[in-house]
Chain A
Amino acid sequence: MVMLKVENLSKKFKDLEVLKDISLEVNQGEVVAIIGPSGSGKSTLLRCLNQFEQITSGKVNICGDDMIVGQGKNGAIYAPKQTLKKIRLNAGMVFQNFNLFPHLSVLKNITEAPIRVLKKPKEQAQQEARELLKKVGLESKENSYPCELSGGQQQRVSIARALAMNPKILFFDEPTSALDPELTGEILKIIQGLAKEGRTMVVVTHEMSFARDVADRVIFMDGGYIVEEGKPDDVINHPQKERTKAFLERFTSLRSMASESDDVQ
């Protein structure tokens, strides 16, 4: 079953076209990693799918619902509000900067939407939130506030918060980019666990090892285009396009430079 289908998506900021003719499909249970240099449009793509950015043209279907129903002069015409809300609830989002609610405890961060939006009874929502906290290894933190947690812990709460809405597809926007390198592992491990559960996920990431080890498919973007797409091993280890090769080469040379300087220290 196709959970996400994007056809010929284009996004312009005024005259600057930041996404060009993007088409992709994500099947149920698939984990897709989107990699590429800064400014390649990968985060903008996620933001378009989340209705944070206005799509200029193209088609988007999430879990069977069409987000775009037509084409107007100034941009794509969106589906009625009810449909857009349904799409929102089917799609979960994990942000680079966590965006936890600082004035709410960890537990309330997670239960707020299930109680207010899904109208779940408070007890049930709390019960489920505790189970999710256990899953992300933070069962002892339910009464803490976000400011009392490390970045990695905050990101784990934000994953639990997204999971509490039981989304059919999960988007991650560079979930480890705001974290210290030693904390990225704990987040990637959780995402790996979710992959094993068969969750459908699209992850924008700079973590090549994650893309290689966890993703079913890797999409390489550059300059607003999808340049290359395929199995992680093919894209990362045997890229076909020059642009992908150049990007990955720089990546590995940076890696080796970093490890060399570690050796010197």
Chain B
Amino acid sequence: MDWSQIGNWFVMFLSGCGVALEIFAVTLVCAIPLGVLLSFGRRSKYKVISWPVSLYISIMRGTPLLLQLLFVYFAPKYMFGLNYDRLLAALIAFVLNYAAYFAEIFRGGMDSMEKGQYEASAALGLSKPQTFFRIILPQVVKRVIPSTANEVITLVKDTSLAYALSVEELFSIASKQTNFSGTITPLIIAGVYYYFFNLLLSLLFRFIEKKLNYYK
């Protein structure tokens, strides 16, 4: 076994890790707020708002992310002859898809809040924004942490799907190296990177859950 070659791969893959990390970070930063907005839309009492949002969420959750990635990139291309950055296409697809999942998680969290919390707040004269930000939101955050953690960890692995758009992220680099070298080692190295990143994330989430465990 050629140890120096393995070391080279580890270094070579760092750029791929960077791109994967970029997809990961941009998706989280954009999809979480968008998901919060969508969850409000989904809970709206106005059908003109809640219905399209439900349809959107249902489509994003009901079709493969891989298909969505290809659609976001190729639809403008084939329909309007529009060529654009593949990484940007991947980012858009990830954000649109993950926002739908986050929206459902937040909606579930909001729905699980007892009516009594709203009534107690109202009886004390708290305004609606005060009730939401001071009373409801902190409790919802605690409730949605476990399912959000799941989603975030899935996202780390899903970044590899950008491979389908030939984005130079960790997985596509590793798979190329596997083809060149005729060994499986590059894929294993990529796996190590994914695994350790997710290990860090799950430790982080465990820490957050513990922090929020000061009440039941």
Instruction: Assess whether B120 is in contact with A85, with CB atoms less than 8 Å apart.
Output: no
Whether a CB of chain B sits under 8 angstroms from the CB of A88 is yes
Quick one: given A52-B122, A92-B123, are A112 and B134 in contact (CB under 8 Å)? yes
Quick one: given A145-B214, A146-B215, A147-B216, are A101 and B135 in contact (CB under 8 Å)? yes
- Which of B114, B117, B123, B216 touches A88 (beta carbons < 8 Å)? B123
Q: List the A side residues contacting B135 at CB < 8 Å.
A: 101, 112
Q: For residues 102 through 129 of chain B, which have their beta carbon under 8 Å from a beta carbon of chain A?
A: 114, 116-117, 119-120, 122-127
Q: List the B side residues contacting A162 at CB < 8 Å.
A: 123-124
Whether a CB of chain B sits under 8 angstroms from the CB of A195 is no
Q: For residues 83 through 109 of chain A, which have their beta carbon under 8 Å from a beta carbon of chain B?
A: 85, 88-89, 91-93, 95, 97, 99-103
Please count how many residues in chain B sit with their CB below 8 Å of the partner chain's CB atoms: 20
Instruction: Assess whether A116 is in contact with B126, with CB atoms less than 8 Å apart.
Output: yes
Q: List the A side residues contacting B127 at CB < 8 Å.
A: 117
Whether a CB of chain A sits under 8 angstroms from the CB of B178 is no
Find the A residue at minimum CB distance from B125: A117
Whether a CB of chain B sits under 8 angstroms from the CB of A50 is yes
Instruction: Assess whether B116 is in contact with A88, with CB atoms less than 8 Å apart.
Output: no
Q: List the B side residues contacting A92 at CB < 8 Å.
A: 123
CA distance A50 to B130 in the complex (A): 19
Instruction: Assess whether B214 is in contact with A93, with CB atoms less than 8 Å apart.
Output: no
Q: List the B side residues contacting A93 at CB < 8 Å.
A: 119-120, 123
Instruction: Assess whether A165 is in contact with B125, with CB atoms less than 8 Å apart.
Output: yes
Chain A interface residues toward B at CB < 8 A: 50-52, 85, 88-89, 91-93, 95, 97, 99-103, 112-113, 116-118, 145-147, 158, 161-162, 165
Chain B interface residues toward A at CB < 8 A: 114, 116-117, 119-120, 122-127, 130, 134-135, 138-139, 142, 214-216
8 contacts between A and B (CB under 8 A): A50-B123, A52-B122, A93-B123, A100-B120, A103-B215, A112-B126, A145-B215, A147-B215
